[in-house]
Structure 1
Amino acid sequence: MVTEVLMARSALFENYDEDLKQLFGSLKDKLDGEAKSLTGEQRKAALKRVSEEIDEAEEIVAQMEVELPSMPVSIRQTYQGRLAASKQSLDKIKKTLKDLRLQSQRSDLLSGPGYPHGDDPYTDDPEPYSTRSRLLAGTQTLEDSTTRLDNAHRIALETEGVGSEILRNLRGQRDQLENTRDTASRHLSIKNALPLTAYSLSKRTLQLIEQRVHSRR
Protein backbone atom coordinates (compact mmCIF):
# COMPACT_ATOMS: atom_id res chain seq x y z
CA MET A 1 0.00 0.00 0.00
CA VAL A 2 2.79 2.41 0.95
CA THR A 3 4.64 1.56 -2.23
CA GLU A 4 1.56 2.31 -4.30
CA VAL A 5 1.15 5.72 -2.63
CA LEU A 6 4.78 6.60 -3.25
CA MET A 7 4.53 5.51 -6.85
CA ALA A 8 1.41 7.62 -7.26
CA ARG A 9 3.20 10.67 -5.88
CA SER A 10 6.16 10.07 -8.16
CA ALA A 11 3.80 9.78 -11.12
CA LEU A 12 2.09 13.03 -10.08
CA PHE A 13 5.44 14.79 -9.92
CA GLU A 14 6.29 13.44 -13.37
CA ASN A 15 3.01 14.78 -14.73
CA TYR A 16 3.74 18.22 -13.28
CA ASP A 17 7.22 18.11 -14.77
CA GLU A 18 5.85 17.20 -18.20
CA ASP A 19 3.27 20.01 -18.08
CA LEU A 20 6.01 22.42 -17.10
CA LYS A 21 8.20 21.39 -20.03
CA GLN A 22 5.32 22.00 -22.43
CA LEU A 23 4.74 25.44 -20.93
CA PHE A 24 8.42 26.29 -21.24
CA GLY A 25 8.29 25.33 -24.91
CA SER A 26 5.25 27.52 -25.49
CA LEU A 27 6.82 30.43 -23.63
CA LYS A 28 10.05 30.17 -25.61
CA ASP A 29 8.14 30.23 -28.89
CA LYS A 30 6.18 33.31 -27.85
CA LEU A 31 9.21 35.19 -26.52
CA ASP A 32 11.34 34.43 -29.58
CA GLY A 33 8.48 34.99 -32.01
CA GLU A 34 5.52 37.31 -31.68
CA ALA A 35 6.77 39.10 -28.56
CA LYS A 36 9.75 40.36 -30.58
CA SER A 37 8.25 40.72 -34.05
CA LEU A 38 5.03 42.50 -33.11
CA THR A 39 4.78 46.16 -32.14
CA GLY A 40 2.41 48.46 -30.29
CA GLU A 41 -0.75 47.00 -28.84
CA GLN A 42 -0.18 43.63 -30.50
CA ARG A 43 3.13 43.25 -28.70
CA LYS A 44 1.50 44.24 -25.41
CA ALA A 45 -1.14 41.55 -25.93
CA ALA A 46 1.55 38.97 -26.69
CA LEU A 47 3.48 39.92 -23.56
CA LYS A 48 0.29 39.63 -21.53
CA ARG A 49 -0.21 36.07 -22.78
CA VAL A 50 3.37 35.27 -21.83
CA SER A 51 2.76 36.68 -18.34
CA GLU A 52 -0.33 34.49 -17.92
CA GLU A 53 1.59 31.36 -18.90
CA ILE A 54 4.37 32.28 -16.48
CA ASP A 55 1.78 32.48 -13.69
CA GLU A 56 0.59 29.00 -14.66
CA ALA A 57 4.17 27.71 -14.62
CA GLU A 58 4.72 29.17 -11.14
CA GLU A 59 1.63 27.33 -9.89
CA ILE A 60 2.97 24.04 -11.24
CA VAL A 61 6.35 24.64 -9.57
CA ALA A 62 4.55 25.31 -6.28
CA GLN A 63 2.70 21.98 -6.59
CA MET A 64 5.97 20.18 -7.30
CA GLU A 65 7.46 21.70 -4.14
CA VAL A 66 4.48 20.36 -2.16
CA GLU A 67 4.96 16.84 -3.51
CA LEU A 68 8.73 16.72 -3.08
CA PRO A 69 8.92 16.07 0.72
CA SER A 70 6.75 12.95 0.35
CA MET A 71 9.13 11.38 -2.17
CA PRO A 72 11.20 8.36 -1.10
CA VAL A 73 14.59 9.42 0.19
CA SER A 74 16.27 7.20 -2.38
CA ILE A 75 14.92 9.27 -5.30
CA ARG A 76 14.20 12.62 -3.63
CA GLN A 77 17.58 14.08 -4.50
CA THR A 78 17.00 13.38 -8.19
CA TYR A 79 13.67 15.16 -8.13
CA GLN A 80 15.17 18.04 -6.18
CA GLY A 81 17.72 18.53 -8.93
CA ARG A 82 15.03 18.52 -11.60
CA LEU A 83 12.94 21.01 -9.65
CA ALA A 84 15.93 23.32 -9.19
CA ALA A 85 16.64 23.21 -12.93
CA SER A 86 12.99 24.05 -13.67
CA LYS A 87 13.15 27.04 -11.33
CA GLN A 88 16.26 28.34 -13.08
CA SER A 89 14.57 28.02 -16.47
CA LEU A 90 11.53 29.87 -15.16
CA ASP A 91 13.71 32.68 -13.78
CA LYS A 92 15.37 33.12 -17.18
CA ILE A 93 11.98 33.31 -18.89
CA LYS A 94 10.79 35.94 -16.40
CA LYS A 95 13.92 38.01 -17.01
CA THR A 96 13.37 37.82 -20.78
CA LEU A 97 9.79 39.01 -20.30
CA LYS A 98 10.99 41.92 -18.16
CA ASP A 99 13.53 42.98 -20.79
CA LEU A 100 10.94 42.83 -23.57
CA ARG A 101 8.54 44.95 -21.54
CA LEU A 102 11.22 47.60 -21.06
CA GLN A 103 11.93 47.58 -24.79
CA SER A 104 8.23 47.94 -25.52
CA GLN A 105 7.93 50.91 -23.17
CA ARG A 106 10.95 52.56 -24.75
CA SER A 107 9.54 52.05 -28.23
CA ASP A 108 6.22 53.56 -27.15
CA LEU A 109 8.03 56.61 -25.77
CA LEU A 110 10.16 57.18 -28.86
CA SER A 111 7.28 56.63 -31.27
CA GLY A 112 4.87 58.92 -29.44
CA PRO A 113 3.80 62.47 -30.37
CA GLY A 114 6.76 64.74 -31.03
CA TYR A 115 8.98 61.84 -32.06
CA PRO A 116 7.65 60.74 -35.46
CA HIS A 117 10.96 59.33 -36.66
CA GLY A 118 11.50 57.05 -33.71
CA ASP A 119 14.94 57.19 -32.17
CA ASP A 120 16.78 58.35 -35.30
CA PRO A 121 19.10 61.14 -34.09
CA TYR A 122 20.27 62.05 -37.59
CA THR A 123 17.01 63.23 -39.12
CA ASP A 124 16.88 66.81 -40.43
CA ASP A 125 13.36 67.30 -39.13
CA PRO A 126 13.52 69.39 -35.93
CA GLU A 127 10.23 68.02 -34.58
CA PRO A 128 11.65 64.71 -33.33
CA TYR A 129 13.78 66.64 -30.91
CA SER A 130 10.81 68.15 -29.09
CA THR A 131 10.37 65.03 -26.98
CA ARG A 132 14.09 64.84 -26.39
CA SER A 133 14.10 68.50 -25.38
CA ARG A 134 11.32 67.85 -22.90
CA LEU A 135 13.24 64.92 -21.46
CA LEU A 136 16.37 67.04 -21.14
CA ALA A 137 14.37 69.84 -19.56
CA GLY A 138 12.86 67.39 -17.10
CA THR A 139 16.31 66.09 -16.24
CA GLN A 140 17.56 69.63 -15.69
CA THR A 141 14.60 70.37 -13.45
CA LEU A 142 15.39 67.31 -11.35
CA GLU A 143 19.02 68.39 -11.07
CA ASP A 144 17.97 71.91 -10.03
CA SER A 145 15.62 70.47 -7.42
CA THR A 146 18.40 68.27 -6.10
CA THR A 147 20.71 71.28 -5.86
CA ARG A 148 18.09 73.27 -3.95
CA LEU A 149 17.57 70.40 -1.54
CA ASP A 150 21.31 70.14 -0.97
CA ASN A 151 21.52 73.88 -0.29
CA ALA A 152 18.58 73.72 2.09
CA HIS A 153 20.22 70.84 3.93
CA ARG A 154 23.49 72.76 4.17
CA ILE A 155 21.73 75.88 5.49
CA ALA A 156 19.87 73.77 8.03
CA LEU A 157 23.14 72.32 9.28
CA GLU A 158 24.72 75.78 9.49
CA THR A 159 21.70 77.13 11.34
CA GLU A 160 21.86 74.22 13.75
CA GLY A 161 25.54 74.99 14.37
CA VAL A 162 24.81 78.68 15.06
CA GLY A 163 21.98 77.73 17.40
CA SER A 164 24.26 75.37 19.30
CA GLU A 165 26.88 78.12 19.66
CA ILE A 166 24.28 80.55 21.01
CA LEU A 167 23.11 77.98 23.55
CA ARG A 168 26.69 77.40 24.68
CA ASN A 169 27.20 81.17 25.12
CA LEU A 170 23.98 81.50 27.08
CA ARG A 171 24.99 78.62 29.34
CA GLY A 172 28.35 80.31 29.94
CA GLN A 173 26.67 83.61 30.81
CA ARG A 174 24.29 81.84 33.15
CA ASP A 175 27.20 80.16 34.92
CA GLN A 176 28.95 83.53 35.30
CA LEU A 177 25.82 85.11 36.76
CA GLU A 178 25.39 82.24 39.20
CA ASN A 179 29.03 82.54 40.31
CA THR A 180 28.65 86.31 40.74
CA ARG A 181 25.49 85.80 42.77
CA ASP A 182 27.18 83.25 45.01
CA THR A 183 30.17 85.58 45.53
CA ALA A 184 27.90 88.49 46.35
CA SER A 185 25.98 86.36 48.81
CA ARG A 186 29.19 85.40 50.60
CA HIS A 187 30.32 89.06 50.79
CA LEU A 188 26.93 90.08 52.11
CA SER A 189 27.08 87.41 54.80
CA ILE A 190 30.52 88.64 55.91
CA LYS A 191 29.35 92.25 55.94
CA ASN A 192 26.32 91.42 58.04
CA ALA A 193 28.47 89.49 60.47
CA LEU A 194 30.95 92.36 61.04
CA PRO A 195 28.68 94.58 63.23
CA LEU A 196 27.88 91.62 65.41
CA THR A 197 31.56 90.86 65.80
CA ALA A 198 32.35 94.48 66.70
CA TYR A 199 29.52 94.50 69.24
CA SER A 200 30.83 91.29 70.80
CA LEU A 201 34.34 92.75 71.05
CA SER A 202 33.08 95.98 72.64
CA LYS A 203 31.07 94.11 75.22
CA ARG A 204 34.06 91.97 76.10
CA THR A 205 36.26 95.05 76.48
CA LEU A 206 33.79 96.66 78.89
CA GLN A 207 33.70 93.53 80.97
CA LEU A 208 37.51 93.52 81.25
CA ILE A 209 37.54 97.18 82.31
CA GLU A 210 34.91 96.56 84.99
CA GLN A 211 36.89 93.61 86.30
CA ARG A 212 40.02 95.75 86.62
CA VAL A 213 38.13 98.50 88.41
CA HIS A 214 36.67 96.09 90.91
CA SER A 215 40.02 94.45 91.51
CA ARG A 216 41.64 97.80 92.41
CA ARG A 217 39.07 98.47 95.08
Structure 2
Amino acid sequence: MDNSPTALFESYDEDFKALLASLKGKLEGDVKQLKGEQRKAALKKVSEELDEAEEIIAQMEVELPSMPVSIRQTFQQRLTTSRSALERVKKSLRDIRAETSRAELLGSGASPADDPYSDEPSGYSTRTRLLAGSEQLQDGSRRLDNAQRIALETEDLGAGILRDLRGQREQIEHTRDTLTQADSSIDRASGTLKKMIFKMYQQKFISGAIIAVLVILICIVLYSKIIG
Protein backbone atom coordinates (compact mmCIF):
# COMPACT_ATOMS: atom_id res chain seq x y z
CA MET A 1 0.00 0.00 0.00
CA ASP A 2 1.37 3.44 -0.97
CA ASN A 3 1.61 5.60 2.16
CA SER A 4 3.06 8.67 0.47
CA PRO A 5 1.42 12.03 1.33
CA THR A 6 0.00 12.29 -2.20
CA ALA A 7 -1.58 8.83 -2.09
CA LEU A 8 -3.03 9.46 1.37
CA PHE A 9 -4.45 12.79 0.23
CA GLU A 10 -6.11 11.12 -2.77
CA SER A 11 -7.60 8.44 -0.51
CA TYR A 12 -8.98 11.05 1.91
CA ASP A 13 -10.32 13.06 -1.04
CA GLU A 14 -12.24 10.05 -2.39
CA ASP A 15 -13.76 9.38 1.06
CA PHE A 16 -14.68 13.05 1.39
CA LYS A 17 -16.40 13.19 -2.02
CA ALA A 18 -18.43 10.06 -1.25
CA LEU A 19 -19.47 11.45 2.14
CA LEU A 20 -20.29 14.86 0.66
CA ALA A 21 -22.51 13.26 -2.00
CA SER A 22 -24.33 11.33 0.75
CA LEU A 23 -24.85 14.51 2.76
CA LYS A 24 -26.24 16.42 -0.21
CA GLY A 25 -28.60 13.58 -1.03
CA LYS A 26 -29.97 13.53 2.52
CA LEU A 27 -30.37 17.30 2.81
CA GLU A 28 -31.94 17.76 -0.62
CA GLY A 29 -34.20 14.71 -0.47
CA ASP A 30 -34.63 12.51 2.59
CA VAL A 31 -34.57 15.17 5.31
CA LYS A 32 -37.06 17.50 3.60
CA GLN A 33 -39.60 14.68 3.31
CA LEU A 34 -39.47 13.86 7.02
CA LYS A 35 -41.35 15.58 9.82
CA GLY A 36 -41.09 15.96 13.56
CA GLU A 37 -38.79 13.64 15.48
CA GLN A 38 -37.82 11.72 12.34
CA ARG A 39 -36.48 14.91 10.79
CA LYS A 40 -34.60 15.77 13.99
CA ALA A 41 -33.00 12.32 14.04
CA ALA A 42 -32.03 12.68 10.37
CA LEU A 43 -30.54 16.13 11.01
CA LYS A 44 -28.54 14.74 13.94
CA LYS A 45 -27.15 12.02 11.67
CA VAL A 46 -26.22 14.63 9.06
CA SER A 47 -24.47 16.67 11.75
CA GLU A 48 -22.42 13.63 12.79
CA GLU A 49 -21.43 12.99 9.19
CA LEU A 50 -20.43 16.65 8.87
CA ASP A 51 -18.07 16.17 11.84
CA GLU A 52 -16.61 13.15 10.04
CA ALA A 53 -16.16 15.24 6.89
CA GLU A 54 -14.37 17.90 8.97
CA GLU A 55 -11.97 15.26 10.27
CA ILE A 56 -11.22 14.10 6.72
CA ILE A 57 -10.51 17.71 5.68
CA ALA A 58 -8.16 18.04 8.67
CA GLN A 59 -6.30 14.88 7.64
CA MET A 60 -5.93 16.19 4.08
CA GLU A 61 -4.52 19.43 5.48
CA VAL A 62 -1.97 17.53 7.59
CA GLU A 63 -0.60 15.76 4.49
CA LEU A 64 0.01 18.98 2.53
CA PRO A 65 3.32 20.08 4.14
CA SER A 66 4.90 16.68 3.36
CA MET A 67 4.23 16.97 -0.39
CA PRO A 68 6.85 18.15 -2.90
CA VAL A 69 6.72 21.90 -3.40
CA SER A 70 6.13 21.46 -7.13
CA ILE A 71 2.68 19.91 -6.62
CA ARG A 72 1.69 21.32 -3.23
CA GLN A 73 -0.15 24.34 -4.68
CA THR A 74 -2.38 22.12 -6.83
CA PHE A 75 -3.44 20.02 -3.85
CA GLN A 76 -3.91 23.16 -1.75
CA GLN A 77 -6.43 24.42 -4.32
CA ARG A 78 -8.25 21.09 -4.22
CA LEU A 79 -8.40 21.29 -0.43
CA THR A 80 -9.80 24.83 -0.61
CA THR A 81 -12.48 23.68 -3.08
CA SER A 82 -13.44 20.77 -0.83
CA ARG A 83 -13.70 23.03 2.22
CA SER A 84 -15.92 25.47 0.30
CA ALA A 85 -18.21 22.61 -0.72
CA LEU A 86 -18.41 21.51 2.92
CA GLU A 87 -19.31 25.05 4.00
CA ARG A 88 -22.20 25.10 1.51
CA VAL A 89 -23.53 21.86 2.96
CA LYS A 90 -23.25 23.33 6.46
CA LYS A 91 -25.25 26.36 5.35
CA SER A 92 -27.94 24.08 3.91
CA LEU A 93 -28.10 22.25 7.23
CA ARG A 94 -28.47 25.55 9.14
CA ASP A 95 -31.24 26.68 6.77
CA ILE A 96 -33.17 23.43 7.23
CA ARG A 97 -32.79 23.64 10.99
CA ALA A 98 -34.08 27.21 10.96
CA GLU A 99 -37.02 26.14 8.81
CA THR A 100 -37.74 23.25 11.17
CA SER A 101 -37.65 25.54 14.21
CA ARG A 102 -40.02 28.03 12.58
CA ALA A 103 -42.42 25.23 11.69
CA GLU A 104 -42.37 23.97 15.29
CA LEU A 105 -43.05 27.45 16.64
CA LEU A 106 -45.97 27.95 14.28
CA GLY A 107 -47.34 24.50 14.99
CA SER A 108 -47.15 24.83 18.77
CA GLY A 109 -48.50 28.38 19.25
CA ALA A 110 -50.74 29.44 16.39
CA SER A 111 -54.26 28.43 15.48
CA PRO A 112 -55.39 28.30 11.81
CA ALA A 113 -56.89 31.78 12.16
CA ASP A 114 -53.73 33.30 13.60
CA ASP A 115 -51.63 35.57 11.41
CA PRO A 116 -48.01 35.71 12.68
CA TYR A 117 -47.66 39.29 11.44
CA SER A 118 -51.10 40.52 12.52
CA ASP A 119 -51.60 43.38 15.00
CA GLU A 120 -54.09 41.27 16.94
CA PRO A 121 -52.96 40.03 20.41
CA SER A 122 -52.81 36.35 19.39
CA GLY A 123 -50.89 37.18 16.22
CA TYR A 124 -48.60 39.47 18.14
CA SER A 125 -47.84 36.66 20.61
CA THR A 126 -47.00 34.28 17.79
CA ARG A 127 -44.83 36.89 16.10
CA THR A 128 -43.01 37.49 19.39
CA ARG A 129 -42.28 33.80 19.69
CA LEU A 130 -41.06 33.71 16.10
CA LEU A 131 -38.74 36.65 16.72
CA ALA A 132 -37.44 35.06 19.92
CA GLY A 133 -36.88 31.78 18.10
CA SER A 134 -35.12 33.59 15.27
CA GLU A 135 -32.83 35.34 17.75
CA GLN A 136 -32.04 32.01 19.37
CA LEU A 137 -31.21 30.53 15.97
CA GLN A 138 -28.98 33.48 15.13
CA ASP A 139 -27.24 33.17 18.48
CA GLY A 140 -26.77 29.45 17.91
CA SER A 141 -25.38 30.15 14.44
CA ARG A 142 -22.94 32.67 15.89
CA ARG A 143 -21.79 30.16 18.49
CA LEU A 144 -21.44 27.51 15.80
CA ASP A 145 -19.42 29.86 13.59
CA ASN A 146 -17.22 30.79 16.55
CA ALA A 147 -16.68 27.13 17.40
CA GLN A 148 -15.83 26.45 13.77
CA ARG A 149 -13.36 29.35 13.73
CA ILE A 150 -11.69 28.03 16.89
CA ALA A 151 -11.55 24.55 15.36
CA LEU A 152 -9.90 25.93 12.21
CA GLU A 153 -7.39 27.88 14.29
CA THR A 154 -6.67 24.74 16.30
CA GLU A 155 -6.17 22.79 13.07
CA ASP A 156 -3.78 25.46 11.77
CA LEU A 157 -1.88 25.37 15.06
CA GLY A 158 -1.72 21.58 14.95
CA ALA A 159 -0.48 21.66 11.35
CA GLY A 160 2.17 24.21 12.35
CA ILE A 161 3.32 22.02 15.25
CA LEU A 162 3.53 19.01 12.92
CA ARG A 163 5.62 21.05 10.46
CA ASP A 164 7.95 22.13 13.30
CA LEU A 165 8.29 18.55 14.54
CA ARG A 166 9.02 17.36 11.01
CA GLY A 167 11.70 20.06 10.65
CA GLN A 168 13.24 19.11 14.01
CA ARG A 169 13.27 15.46 13.00
CA GLU A 170 15.12 16.34 9.79
CA GLN A 171 17.65 18.37 11.81
CA ILE A 172 18.19 15.45 14.19
CA GLU A 173 18.67 13.07 11.27
CA HIS A 174 21.13 15.48 9.67
CA THR A 175 23.04 15.78 12.97
CA ARG A 176 23.11 12.00 13.30
CA ASP A 177 24.52 11.65 9.76
CA THR A 178 27.15 14.29 10.56
CA LEU A 179 28.16 12.44 13.73
CA THR A 180 28.38 9.19 11.79
CA GLN A 181 30.67 10.81 9.22
CA ALA A 182 32.79 12.35 12.02
CA ASP A 183 33.09 8.94 13.70
CA SER A 184 34.26 7.40 10.42
CA SER A 185 36.83 10.21 10.01
CA ILE A 186 38.10 9.64 13.57
CA ASP A 187 38.48 5.91 12.86
CA ARG A 188 40.48 6.63 9.71
CA ALA A 189 42.65 9.17 11.55
CA SER A 190 43.27 6.68 14.38
CA GLY A 191 44.38 4.02 11.88
CA THR A 192 46.72 6.47 10.16
CA LEU A 193 48.23 7.51 13.52
CA LYS A 194 48.85 3.88 14.48
CA LYS A 195 50.65 3.32 11.19
CA MET A 196 52.80 6.40 11.76
CA ILE A 197 53.73 5.23 15.29
CA PHE A 198 54.64 1.79 13.96
CA LYS A 199 56.86 3.30 11.26
CA MET A 200 58.49 5.58 13.86
CA TYR A 201 59.44 2.63 16.07
CA GLN A 202 60.60 0.74 12.98
CA GLN A 203 62.88 3.62 11.98
CA LYS A 204 64.24 3.88 15.54
CA PHE A 205 65.06 0.17 15.49
CA ILE A 206 66.83 0.46 12.13
CA SER A 207 68.73 3.55 13.29
CA GLY A 208 69.79 1.75 16.48
CA ALA A 209 70.95 -1.27 14.50
CA ILE A 210 73.01 0.93 12.15
CA ILE A 211 74.64 2.73 15.10
CA ALA A 212 75.43 -0.61 16.76
CA VAL A 213 77.06 -1.90 13.56
CA LEU A 214 79.11 1.32 13.24
CA VAL A 215 80.29 1.06 16.85
CA ILE A 216 81.34 -2.55 16.30
CA LEU A 217 83.21 -1.61 13.12
CA ILE A 218 84.97 1.25 14.91
CA CYS A 219 85.97 -1.09 17.74
CA ILE A 220 87.32 -3.62 15.23
CA VAL A 221 89.34 -0.93 13.46
CA LEU A 222 90.79 0.37 16.73
CA TYR A 223 91.59 -3.12 17.88
CA SER A 224 93.30 -3.85 14.61
CA LYS A 225 95.47 -0.72 14.93
CA ILE A 226 96.41 -1.58 18.52
CA ILE A 227 97.37 -5.14 17.65
CA GLY A 228 99.26 -4.07 14.54
Q: 1:115 aligns with which of 110, 126, 147?
A: 110
CA contact (8 A) 2:106 2:126 kept: no
Q: 2:33 aligns with which of 19, 22, 37?
A: 37
Q: Partner residue of 1:99?
A: 95
Q: 2:78 aligns with which of 57, 78, 82?
A: 82
Cα 1:70–1:38, aligned 2, differ >3 Å: closer, same or farther? Answer: same
Letter in 2 for 1:67: E
Aligned to 1:111, the other structure's residue is in SS state helix
Q: Partner residue of 1:24?
A: 20
Letter in 1 for 2:110: Y
Cα 1:54–1:136, aligned 2, differ >3 Å: closer, same or farther? Answer: closer
Larger Rg: 1
Cα 1:120–1:10, aligned 2, differ >3 Å: closer, same or farther? Answer: farther
* Structure 1 position 16, deviation (Å): 0.3
CA contact (8 A) 2:9 2:60 kept: yes
* Structure 1 position 38, deviation (Å): 1.1
CA contact (8 A) 2:23 2:46 kept: yes
Q: Partner residue of 1:196?
A: none
User: Matched residues in 1 for 2:36 and 2:72: separation?
Assistant: 46
Q: 2:69 aligns with which of 58, 73, 79?
A: 73
CA contact (8 A) 1:115 1:130 kept: no
User: Matched residues in 2 for 1:25 and 1:132: separation?
Assistant: 41
* Structure 1 position 74, deviation (Å): 1.2
CA offset digits 1:140-197 (Å, max 9, x no partner): xxxxxxxxxxxxxxxxxxxxxxxxxxxxxxxxxxxxxxxxxxxxxxxxxxxxxxxxxx
* Structure 1 position 37, deviation (Å): 1.4
Q: Partner residue of 2:136?
A: none
Structure 1 portions without partners, runs of 5+: 123-128, 140-217
Trace 1:1-217 onto structure 2 (pairs within 5 A). 8-112=4-108, 114-117=109-112, 121=115, 131-135=122-126
Normalising by structure 1, what TM-score? 0.53
CA contact (8 A) 2:12 2:60 kept: yes
- Alpha-carbon RMSD across the aligned residues, in angstroms, is 2.7
* Structure 1 position 77, deviation (Å): 1.0
* Structure 1 position 130, deviation (Å): 6.8
Aligned to 2:110, the other structure's residue is in SS state coil
User: Matched residues in 1 for 2:77 and 2:32: separation?
Assistant: 32
Cα 1:48–1:136, aligned 2, differ >3 Å: closer, same or farther? Answer: closer
Cα 1:131–1:98, aligned 2, differ >3 Å: closer, same or farther? Answer: farther
Cα 1:80–1:116, aligned 2, differ >3 Å: closer, same or farther? Answer: same
Aligned residues: 127
* Structure 1 position 21, deviation (Å): 0.1
* Structure 1 position 111, deviation (Å): 0.6
